[in-house]
Amino acid sequence: MPSEPDIEIWHTLLGASQTYGDVPLAELAAKKVAELGSNMDGDYVLLSNIYASNSRWHDVDHVRTRMQCNDVIKIPGFSYIEINGTMHMFIKGDRSHPIWKEISNALHYISVRIRALGYVPEVQNVLHDIGEEEKQHELYLHSEKLAIAFGLISTDPGVELRVIKNLRICGDCHAVAKLVSKAYNRVIVVRDRARFHRFEGGECSCQDFW
């Protein structure tokens, strides 16, 4: 580069490292953003994601320890969706919604339909050293999936769904949203911490780089 890379460049490289599974680059980028004064929970989570996807659980624990030492608290993921002028909020693992049973049933049918299109759960996105079935169940209850399922059963066919996510959408939820847009012939727009994702016909506007 003709100039010294700033913190945004290093953040971009950190995110790209997850896409490509490049652990050395992720470690370098995380070190640089820290040196430039960043202490955001997202930096730690991205690095932890990359370690987890490579089953480096000792390093995942090390990142968590660093977060505690630096008084960094991971913000829980939550998503909003507006239906008929009312905002509905979903938190990861939340079962408190008044029509939770219907949402759970919708999630089941969504899973069946998208598996027929080739969906395979991206369990490497689960940051815990637990069994395969437990990892799939944890992915199943991510907040944006809950919001999308609720949107599907609460709106007429063909209505665009718009979801607001406070954190960066994970790879598995991104893959699910693409397949849901195809299976249900819906446009789904997800505004996460970084950008807008517009899902239609099994594709995303970000072209899988975000």
Lowest-pLDDT choice from 3-7, 124-128, 149-153, 186-190? 124-128
From CA 181, how far away is CA 177, in angstroms rounded? Answer: 6
Task: Please write the tens of the pLDDT for every residue from 156-208.
Answer: 999 999 999 998 888 889 999 999 999 999 999 999 987 899 999 999 999 88
110 within 8 A of 119, measured Cβ to Cβ: no
- For a pLDDT cut of 90, what percent of the chain falls above it? 56
Task: Please write the tens of the pLDDT for every residue from 167-180.
Answer: 888 888 999 999 99
Averaged over 88-113, what is the pLDDT?
Answer: 93
CATH architecture of 7-69: Alpha Horseshoe (1.25)
Residue 205 neighbours by CB distance under 10 Å: 12
Structure tokens at 44: 């730690």
Segments of the chain assigned to CATH 1.25.40: 7-69
